[in-house]
Chain A
Amino acid sequence: MKNNSKAVRYNKWGYIFLMPFIIVYVVFQLIPMATTIYNSFFENYMSGLNQIGPNFVGFDNYVKLFSSGDIWIYAKNTMILWIMCFIPQIFLSLLLGAWFSDVRLKLKGARFFKTVMYLPNLIMASAFSMLFFTLFSDGGPINSILMQIGIIDTPYKFLSNVGSTRGLIAFMNCLMWFGNTTILLMAGMMGIDTSLFEAAEVDGATSTQVFFRITLPLLRPILVYVMITSLIGGLQLFDVPQILTNGTGDPMRSTMTLIMFLNKHLYSKNYGMAGALSVVLFIITAILSLIIFKVTGNDKRKG
């Protein structure tokens, strides 16, 4: 009895210690979330110097958003950029992870390579993008190098072609994220019971067989996790294309992402459309989060 009341006396501290988090979360996340949703049902924008609205319009903003066609173009751009970044990234990460966790291969300098691979992840994305913009500009160092070694005669206009602009964005993102993915996959591979590998070796399995029959199937939860977090990250793609194209999404809006679209609405103070777009993005990420939650939430495995 006495013990019980003591526990209660202590456990009120659970609530006290939670207070700062809850208050800040409610004020800076939940209330903005609610007003964002609220805004999505109102017509509210500037037409020239005239403020239109706010007038309640029901689901009109959503109808306008999906029927105008722009969102489909930007969603397609975002997906293309994500796929161009994710596929090479996952291949490279699996390959490097498999090599480093292969005891027979005994690769040296794992720490050095991990350090180098993770480095681009910490770089300011906007500065990195600005750097690429100057390096790959028509008169920039990359064109100069390519001309010096005789691969091209005239400067290649990297930022005027759809393929090369998207390629650069995907390449930068790949460079920034493959180290993170490799370290995650490596941790997953190291966690596999080594007796499985030993047994496979005794049975005379080749490295390729070991990889496809043991490593990959056991790695599936982490792979799903990596893929979905990467997809959520891909949906947020903003800094790199925004700085590289100065917010225009050029050439011909082929690199305009969904968040750049949102940013545009926020700057032009079209709050109705910005709200509707935010809600759509929120629903997509919420669904993806639920999948992660289902995959990783119930077991004790570390993310």
Chain B
Amino acid sequence: MIGMENKNQEMAKGLSIHARRAIAYVVLVIVTFFCLFWFYVLFINATRSNGELQSGFSAIPSTNLIKNWTNLVNGTLPIWSGLLNSLIIATASAALCVYFSTMTAYAIHAYEFKAKRVIYTFILMIMMIPTQVTALGFVQLVSKMKLENSFIPLIVPSIAVPVTFFYMKQYMESSLPLSLIEAARIDGSGEFRTFNTIVLPLMKPAIAVQAIFTFVSSWNNYFTPALILHDDKKKTLPILIAQLRSADWLKFDMGQVYVMIAFSIFPVIVVYLILSKHIVQGVALGSVKG
């Protein structure tokens, strides 16, 4: 009797599980579609000429990708310098940010000093304050320092990013034993050398994840660079996109517009797909990125 009942129950459950699994997969397929569809259309449209684009949508790529690209490069938008500027700023920001965030986290993690608690609490409290609310003072400061049209005000502040610091601190708590540092001291290694030769290599996984995040957020940043960089030769890709938007776009060759968007989006997608495993893990680990 009891066995029968169990079996019945299991059958009912089994059925519902199959149904639920089917629903889950359907929803996941829809979600996947909505995540990828836009990029597919972007890719298709980047390969089509203006004439083809005006005549309506087609799901099949055409052959004008290279022509659109050469038109864009020979056009008025400074694409190459935009790309180069974005690369310089994002790379330098990422490098400074991970190095100094690790250093700051190490200071809090490995040493005991009077102001430690106060400083740590302070950094945690300011973690969520957005940079926009200090933008006014920032712009005034930059113009007083005569650093308009310079990359310095976009790169140097990445030394002090509380979110990255917090991630590094979390990571150290789980994987940087203080006994190791003690051992290095006994071996006569100086504090600065210990940091560079022992701590940094041990932090590699965390550094890689945060380097990617900092790179991407700097690469994508529009608000601050738009306030600082006015010279055409100094502009970054997001500013060029905004310029493209504010130009009378109907007069534009739409093929060029799509190639320009693709040019700003696809490099990040390619890098992401290569490194996705680490990135997705990194999000779950210490993510305070709101």
Interface residues in chain A, defined as those with a beta carbon under 8 Å from any beta carbon in chain B: 7, 10-18, 20-22, 24-25, 27-29, 31-36, 39, 92, 95-96, 99, 104-107, 109, 111, 113-120, 122-128, 130-135, 139, 141-142, 144-145, 147-148, 175, 179-180, 183-184, 186-187, 204, 207, 229-230, 232-233, 235-236, 238-239, 242-243, 246-247, 259, 262-263, 266, 271, 274-275, 278-279, 281-282, 285-286, 288-290, 292-293, 297, 302-303
Contact partner, B137, options A34, A180, A187, Cβ 8 Å: A34
Tell me if B27 and A95 are in contact (CB < 8 A).
yes
Tell me if B41 and A141 are in contact (CB < 8 A).
yes
- Contacts between chains A and B (CB distance < 8 A), count: 290
Tell me if B130 and A132 are in contact (CB < 8 A).
no
CA–CA, A10 and B191, complex, Å: 8
Contact partner, B9, options A145, A204, A282, Cβ 8 Å: A204
15 more A-B residue pairs beyond the given contacts A28-B156, A127-B237, with a C-beta to C-beta distance below 8 A: A10-B111, A18-B104, A20-B159, A21-B165, A24-B100, A109-B28, A118-B280, A119-B36, A134-B257, A135-B38, A184-B283, A266-B227, A282-B134, A289-B126, A302-B285
Tell me if B112 and A14 are in contact (CB < 8 A).
yes
Tell me if A186 and B113 are in contact (CB < 8 A).
no
CA–CA, A175 and B200, complex, Å: 35
Q: Which residues of B contact A21 (CB under 8 A)?
A: 100-101, 103-104, 159-160, 165
Tell me if A125 and B222 are in contact (CB < 8 A).
yes
CA–CA, A126 and B174, complex, Å: 37
Please give the distance in Å from A302's CB to the nearest CB on chain B.
6
User: Cβ of B17 < 8 Å from any Cβ of A?
Assistant: yes
Q: Which residues of A contact B32 (CB under 8 A)?
A: 113, 116
Contact partner, B286, options A12, A33, A303, Cβ 8 Å: A303
Contact partner, A286, options B129, B276, B279, Cβ 8 Å: B129
Tell me if B27 and A266 are in contact (CB < 8 A).
no
